[in-house]
């Protein structure tokens, strides 16, 4: 029987749920344009480069692209410091290029969600230039100011480890607030005019045909404008205070009413520091706020809890990871909808963090992609993971471009800290690990640019690149396409219930997905060693659906031995009589 016929048969066993939506069925590819493809030799990826790669994107089978910011920006934080929300960053191209990209994607049945930076602008945005020019400028209230005659403002911390989140500006003898860098002043969402401005920005892009938004750092937007001392209960983790602003839910409901409700769009919020209960308040359908969000709980897995710049690989436990994912699945069991990802441009490479990026790079990459594409929640694949790109592990601070790393290094250097240990640590945790250029081929600069790349190319490009992967039937790339096709063909993988098995195992990640009469058993060996898995007494395997090794598996007395990083999906029947 052909694979297609199999899929048709499987489909009949499932019954579609009634709350279907395209954004639940979406398969998202996160595209970091600065490092995707350079078209003009200036070393910076650009929109024309993406346009030239549309066929590649389509060939993956993905249905949505989350495009990191391409708005005008001085790039203090790589586009997350926007100086004009209605224009395209010079290095990225023009508005015409953007229109052409959007068209090209739509023609191929791919949607695009834009990355909207809500919490702050660039200090070069005209609103801020005006705002800081005088205390009675009409834009003064667009930002948060603290007049110096009131003394030093209550302590706020900068996510990017600057001296603090208030910076003094002598033009008006006042401090302004910036949760991120000093070039990213926070907008004052308590001001209704600011909110209106931002809703207009959203409509501008939606009217252009953009299919939704990734809402950058949305939990931080609302602030108590009396700027109290951070309450005692947040002292351990002051950043969690940032995500609990008093007006947040009101603003999201207003945003929904003014903007979202008028379009058929997808919204996904970046939600650091929130609990499961809070997550549902943002995403429950009846509350009319946002549709989905992603949390950071597993982003900190394998990191030192006291200082997230440092890894703690020894204390990584698969049982913890399983707990994180199953608790988040449960959070959206009855309402709301989650996002499933393993890395973004803010974390190091997927296979370097969750897999084995040397001996089992191929197998473990495939296993991780199998995981992403068989969990409940909209899956996000990060650019380069489909070819198994790895951490670059820079040896010198001079190679880093990310101020998150650079600022902390300087802090250590000026306070007598151990900068060498920090460089070692950043090899595992730095954001730049995921920001190196996409590896297209084994040509100069991995075929990314004819010029000098803005950030060094990973030297492993000679073997790890898309062209090699294209030519190798056993590549991660081909497997990714197969797995994506499977997710699209089997609604059980989108809508089916999730049930974790083997909860105590430190090597096996096993779960079932079930929709009506169709049940898929997902068996993943998250380890370098062979591991046996035994079926539950009343389970019966119908057939193997996909396997990241070539050889079929054989059960003997309900027991199967999995190879290192082996990943298998079975169709499985549970006898409940």
Q: Return residues touching ligand GLC (CB under 6 A).
A: 77, 80, 117, 180, 216-217, 270, 345-346
Q: Does 399 bind Ca ion (CB under 5 A)?
A: no
Q: DSSP characters for 374-429?
A: HSSSEEEEETTGGGT------SSGGG---HHHHHHHHHHHHTT--HHHHHHHHHHH
Cβ contact 208:100 at 8 Å: no
Question: In terms of Cα–Cα distance, which of 135, 264, 146, 285 is closest to 212?
Answer: 264
Query: Which of the listed partners (Ca ion, ligand GLC, none) does 117 bind, with a CB threshold of 5 to 8 Å by partner kind?
Result: ligand GLC
Q: DSSP characters for 324-351?
A: HHHHHHHHTSSSSEEEEES--TTS--HH
**Can you tell me the distance from the alpha carbon of 383 to that of 381, in angstroms, rounded to the nearest whole number?**
7
CB of residue 184 to ligand GLC, shortest distance in Å: 6
**Does 216 participate in catalysis according to the annotation?**
yes
**Does 100 participate in catalysis according to the annotation?**
no
Torsion of CA 320, 283, 219, 303, to 10 degrees: 10
Query: Which of the listed partners (Ca ion, ligand GLC, none) does 169 bind, with a CB threshold of 5 to 8 Å by partner kind?
Result: none
**Can you tell me the distance from the alpha carbon of 99 to that of 267, in angstroms, rounded to the nearest whole number?**
21
Query: Which of the listed partners (Ca ion, ligand GLC, none) does 40 bind, with a CB threshold of 5 to 8 Å by partner kind?
Result: Ca ion
Closer by beta carbon to Ca ion, 42 or else 258: 42
Closer by beta carbon to ligand GLC, 408 or else 565: 408
Closer by beta carbon to Ca ion, 38 or else 428: 38
CB of residue 68 to ligand GLC, shortest distance in Å: 8
Question: In terms of Cα–Cα distance, which of 344, 333, 220 is closest to 283?
Answer: 333
Q: Does 44 bind Ca ion (CB under 5 A)?
A: yes
Residue 536 buriedness (CB in 10 A; 0-12 / 13-18 / 19+): middle
CB of residue 160 to ligand GLC, shortest distance in Å: 7
Query: Which of the listed partners (ligand GLC, Ca ion, none) does 42 bind, with a CB threshold of 5 to 8 Å by partner kind?
Result: Ca ion
Choice among 186, 216, 289, 460 that is catalytic? 216
Residue 280 has phi, psi (to 5 degrees) of -70, -30
Number of helices (H) and strands (E) in the chain: give both, helices first. 18, 20
CB of residue 20 to ligand GLC, shortest distance in Å: 29
Query: Which of the listed partners (Ca ion, ligand GLC, none) does 46 bind, with a CB threshold of 5 to 8 Å by partner kind?
Result: Ca ion
Binder among 10, 14, 38, 115 for Ca ion (CB under 5 A): 38
Q: DSSP characters for 216-282?
A: ETGGG----TT-PPPPGGGTTSHHHHHTT-TTHHHHHHHHHHHTGGGS--EEEEE-TT--HHHHHHH
Q: Does 42 bind Ca ion (CB under 5 A)?
A: yes
Residue 140 has phi, psi (to 5 degrees) of -50, -45
Closest CB to Ca ion: residue number = 46
Q: Does 51 bind Ca ion (CB under 5 A)?
A: no
Residue 278 has phi, psi (to 5 degrees) of -60, -35
Choice among 270, 329, 385, 432 that is catalytic? 270
Binder among 6, 11, 40, 300 for Ca ion (CB under 5 A): 40
CB of residue 341 to ligand GLC, shortest distance in Å: 12
Query: Which of the listed partners (Ca ion, ligand GLC, none) does 197 bind, with a CB threshold of 5 to 8 Å by partner kind?
Result: none
Which strand ranges, in their side-by-side order, compose the sheet holding 166-169? 145-147, 174-177, 166-169
Closest CB to ligand GLC: residue number = 80
Cβ contact 541:570 at 8 Å: yes
CB of residue 216 to ligand GLC, shortest distance in Å: 5
Quickly tell me which residue has 């079932």 as its tokens: 512
CB of residue 290 to ligand GLC, shortest distance in Å: 16
Query: Which of the listed partners (ligand GLC, Ca ion, none) does 428 bind, with a CB threshold of 5 to 8 Å by partner kind?
Result: none
Closer by beta carbon to ligand GLC, 409 or else 509: 409
Residues that bind Ca ion (CB under 5 A): 38, 40, 42, 44, 46
Which amino acids are annotated catalytic? 216, 270
């Amino acid at each position: 029987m052909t694979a297609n016929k199999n899929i048709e048969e499987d489909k009949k066993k499932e019954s579609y749920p009634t709350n279907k939506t395209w954004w639940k069925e979406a398969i998202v590819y996160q595209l970091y344009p600065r490092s995707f493809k350079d078209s003009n030799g200036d070393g910076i990826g650009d929109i024309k480069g993406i346009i030239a790669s549309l066929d590649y994107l389509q060939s993956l089978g993905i249905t949505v692209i989350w495009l990191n910011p391409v708005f005008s920006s001085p790039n203090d934080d790589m586009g997350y410091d926007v100086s004009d929300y209605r224009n395209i960053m010079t290095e990225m191209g023009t508005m015409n290029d953007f229109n052409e990209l959007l068209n090209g994607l739509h023609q191929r049945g791919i949607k695009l969600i834009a990355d909207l930076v809500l919490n702050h602008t660039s200090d070069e945005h005209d609103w801020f230039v005006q705002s800081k020019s005088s205390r009675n400028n009409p834009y003064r209230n667009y930002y948060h100011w603290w007049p110096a005659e009131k003394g030093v403002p209550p302590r706020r911390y900068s996510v990017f480890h600057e001296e603090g989140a208030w910076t003094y500006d002598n033009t008006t003898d006042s401090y302004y607030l910036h949760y991120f860098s000093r070039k990213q002043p926070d907008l004052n969402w308590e001001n209704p005019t600011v909110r209106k401005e931002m809703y207009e920005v959203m409509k501008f892009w939606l009217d252009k045909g953009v299919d939704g938004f990734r809402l950058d750092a949305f939990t931080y937007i609302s602030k108590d404008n009396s700027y109290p001392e951070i309450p005692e209960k947040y002292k351990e983790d002051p950043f969690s205070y940032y995500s609990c602003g008093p007006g947040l839910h009101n603003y999201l409901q207003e945003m929904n009413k003014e903007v979202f409700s008028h379009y058929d769009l997808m919204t996904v919020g970046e939600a650091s520091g929130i609990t499961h209960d809070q997550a549902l308040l943002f995403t429950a359908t009846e509350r009319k706020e946002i549709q989905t969000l992603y949390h950071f709980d597993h982003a900190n897995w394998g990191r030192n809890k006291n200082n997230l710049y440092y890894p703690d690989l020894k204390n990584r436990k698969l049982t913890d990871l399983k707990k994180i994912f199953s608790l988040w699945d449960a959070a959206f069991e009855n309402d709301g909808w989650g996002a499933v990802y393993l890395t973004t441009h803010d974390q190091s490479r997927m296979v370097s963090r969750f897999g084995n990026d040397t001996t089992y790079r191929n197998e473990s990459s495939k296993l991780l992609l199998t995981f992403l594409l068989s969990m409940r929640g909209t899956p996000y694949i990060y650019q380069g993971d489909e070819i198994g790109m790895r951490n670059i592990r820079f040896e010198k601070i001079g190679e880093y471009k990310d101020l998150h790393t650079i600022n902390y290094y300087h802090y250590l250097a000026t306070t007598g800290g151990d900068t060498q240990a920090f460089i070692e640590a950043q090899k595992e945790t730095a954001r730049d690990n995921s920001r190196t250029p996409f590896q297209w081929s084994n040509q100069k600069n991995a075929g990314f640019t004819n010029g000098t790349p803005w950030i060094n190319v990973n030297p492993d490009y000679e073997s790890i690149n898309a062209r090699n992967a294209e030519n190798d039937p056993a590549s991660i790339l081909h497997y990714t396409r197969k797995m994506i096709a499977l997710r699209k063909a089997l609604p059980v993988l989108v809508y089916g219930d999730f049930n974790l098995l083997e909860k105590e195992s430190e090597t096996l990640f096993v779960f079932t997905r079930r929709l009506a009469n169709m049940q898929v058993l997902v068996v993943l060996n998250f380890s370098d060693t062979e591991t046996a898995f035994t079926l539950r007494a009343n389970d019966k395997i119908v057939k193997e659906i996909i396997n990241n090794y070539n050889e079929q598996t054989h059960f003997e007395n309900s027991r199967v031995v999995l190879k290192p990083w082996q990943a298998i999906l079975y169709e499985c029947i549970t006898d409940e009589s």
